[in-house]
Structure 1
Amino acid sequence: MARSAVQSATALPASPQDDRRRRMRQYSIAMTIRTICFLLVVIVPDWWRFVFAVGAIVLPYFAVVLANVGAGGAVDPITPAPAPVQRELEQRQQ
């Protein structure tokens, strides 16, 4: 009798709650960096002001794109193992 591969729970994608929490954390970090950029635009003199202004303008786009990217899913496709009765029938037919 051939042994079937055992499915692993680690091959499953992240739960919707974990995925949402991860995306919210990434978005919050990006918006915190944007807020810091706004503050630095006011504080920093000379040409550095423009660097932080560009960061404050561009960061929301990347934050939204990263927040909307969901979990990639399972690495390997998960196929259900055949039922024991089905395996017995297949063995009898051979």
Structure 2
Amino acid sequence: MKQPSSITSLPASPDAERRARVIKYSIMMTIRVLCVVALLFARGPWLWVFAVGAIVLPYIAVVVANVKINPRSRTVLRPGSIELAPRSEDGTTRPGDNE
């Protein structure tokens, strides 16, 4: 039998997922712009580091932005549960048996 979905096991809403992807992409593109600006002032090995960052970051940003967000995998513990009264042989509950 299929277990019902818990609200904490549902995936993120499309709006929340899109927003998270846009934020990741924007951060990586900001770093790329900083790499391009740093190319104007860098010398020696730092020039190559910033050049690689400016060239490779767009590809990485697209790949990271398109990764789907996984739902939280935490199990929700219920604070209490319902206890049923014991049943007699004829299927009726007996008063006082659930204490």
TM over 0.5: yes
**Structure 1 residue 16, shift from structure 2 partner:** 0.4
Unpaired segments ≥5 residues, structure 2: 75-99
The one of 13, 24, 27 aligned to 2:25: 27
In structure 2, C-alpha distance between the alignment counterparts of 1:49 and 1:71, rounded to whole Å: 35
Q: In proportion to residue count, which structure has more helix?
A: 1
Q: What TM-score do the two structures reach when normalised by structure 2? A: 0.65
If asked which structure has higher relative contact order (CA below 8 Å, sep 6+), I would say: 1
For residues 40 and 16 of structure 2, the distance between their equivalents in structure 1, rounded to whole angstroms, comes to 37
**Percent identical residues:** 50
- Aligned mates of 1:6, 1:44 — CA distance in 2: 57
RMSD between superposed Cα atoms in Å: 2.1
2:60 equivalent in structure 1: 62
Number of residues paired by the alignment?
72
**Does 2:40 match 1:42?**
yes
* Cα offset, 1:40, TM superposition: 0.7
Give unpaired runs (5+ residues) of structure 1.
77-94
